[in-house]
Amino acid sequence: MYLTPEEEKLFNGERGPTYQKAIEILVALGDIYEADRLIPIKSAQIAGVSYKTIGDAGLEWISDLKGKVAVPSILNPAGMDLECWKEMGISEDFAQKQEKIIQAYSALGVRIECSCTPYNIFDNLADFGDHVAWSESSAISYANSVIGARTNREGGPSALAAALIGKTPNYGFHLDENRKPVISIIVEAKLHDSDYGALGYIVGEMVGDKVPLFKLKSKPSKDELKSLGAAMAASGAVALYHVSGTTPEAGKYEAPKEKITIEESQIKEVYSKGEPDLIAFGCPHSSVSELERLAQLLNGKKVKKEVWICTSRAIKKNNPELIKRIEKSGAKVFCDTCMVVSPASERFTCMMVNSGKAHKYVPNLCGIKSILGRTEDCIEAAMRG
Ligand code: F3S
């Protein structure tokens, strides 16, 4: 891979070991995937934040780095609400370690916004055609598919390396030829709400890391696209998808000949029954319109079970009245974290979610049973004693 004289200097350690380590990561990736050069990025979104997932080794790695990020950079959800962690049932020990991780990122100049929906917080992180280095799988999918920005499936270390250097190797989804759909998905059902997560749950398993082009009978909202992409990235490894007549690059392509048809009965099969002791919303982090809908569904009611709603701190801070309306019902709104990456959900036995992605991850990552329901059904379950 070609390096400019300036990049060569970083590679040779002239700006110290942190930048040297960072560019070594980028060059190693570039060499593996045959990138021709490094290209500038507009932003980075860095996973590897929860102490639950990175542990002491991760904390040590980040703490050893000395430098400043070169582009706007934001974090993925941490293992706890950074303010209300006691209310979540997080231990002092975990909270201290988590706090150290956050401080280490902060010292590198990373913004302490811990969210998997950075596009709902800042509108200058990624626009159509921008190159970025994002690493949370649903955020990657949203950036590529819904915004039309360009990112590979970065890991935490490679996104941090890209943030420090301000560049990423030019391969994969940064190149036009890899953004073309290779399989058509024809959906024979009108979808709404969690159906998109259920669809993603099925399709991800079927297509793996291929780029699908959907033909849908209903027009998804941005929140529904967010759910679809998140579930496909969890059950498979889909980093980019197109929806005919909806996503920004879909019109450029012919429908691929290879096709899969999804029937309504297949979507229904993903839903499950059971009695949860925790009901959790906000995977990916709830948008303002999703919070508004939850506030309407909870209006005048009192929840009889533990209900968590996960969102970003910025959204919580900017919508105090909305949050008050939700909290009046007894539901708890947590920020900076989520039901999957926090250890707090492990003390329950069964979690009900309206998210295909959470439904996929909860059994393995939290070690508890998961039930997928529509949003209204989740609220109904919360009302049962
Ligand atoms: Fe976000 Fe956590 Fe889901 S990071 S996409 S809310 S698993």
pLDDT attached to residue 151: 98
* H helical segments located in the chain: 5-11, 17-32, 51-63, 85-88, 92-107, 137-142, 156-165, 195-207, 222-235, 264-270, 288-298, 313-318, 320-327, 356-361, 375-383
Atom of ligand 1 nearest to the CA of 138: 5
Average pLDDT rounded to a whole number, residues 259-283:
96
Atom of ligand 1 nearest to the CA of 139: 5
355 vs 65, 119, 307, 334, 361, CA distance in Å?
Answer: 36, 19, 14, 17, 10
What is the average pLDDT value for the chain, to the nearest integer? 97
pLDDT attached to residue 220: 97
pLDDT above 80 (res 385): no
Average pLDDT rounded to a whole number, residues 134-157:
98
Distance CA 338, CA 26 (A): 29
- Per the structure block, which two tokens stand in for 65? 């780095």
- Cα–ligand 1 centroid distance for 241 (angstroms): 19
- Cα–ligand 1 centroid distance for 49 (angstroms): 12
Average pLDDT rounded to a whole number, residues 127-143:
98
pLDDT above 90 (res 2): yes
Residue whose Cα lies nearest atom 2 of ligand 1: it is 338
| Domains present along the chain, CATH in parentheses | 5-176 (3.30.499), 180-270 (no CATH), 278-383 (3.30.499.10)
pLDDT attached to residue 276: 97
- The pLDDT tens digits of the residues spanning 76-100 come to 999 999 999 999 999 999 999 999 9
Distance CA 354, CA 283 (A): 8
Average pLDDT rounded to a whole number, residues 362-382:
97
- Partners of residue 308 on adjacent β-strands: 280, 332
pLDDT attached to residue 173: 98
**In the chain, what percentage of residues exceed pLDDT 70?**
100
Which among 46, 115, 116, 342 is the best mutation to test ligand 1's pocket, defined by most ligand atoms within 8 Å of the CB? 116
Nearest partner of 137 among 206, 239, 32, 265, judged by Cα: 239
Crossing angle of the two packed helices 92-107 and 51-63, in degrees rounded to 10 = 40
- Cα–ligand 1 centroid distance for 335 (angstroms): 12
- The pLDDT tens digits of the residues spanning 219-266 come to 999 999 999 999 999 999 999 999 999 999 999 999 999 999 999 999
Query: Which residues line ligand 1 at a C-beta cut-off of 6 Å?
Result: 76-77, 116, 136, 138, 230, 283-285, 310, 338, 340-341, 357-358, 361
Residue with tokens 């969210």: 115
In contact, 113 and 75? CB cutoff 8 Å:
yes
3-state secondary structure of 243: strand
pTM of the model: 0.97
Distance CA 132, CA 181 (A): 21
In contact, 155 and 44? CB cutoff 8 Å:
no
pLDDT attached to residue 191: 97
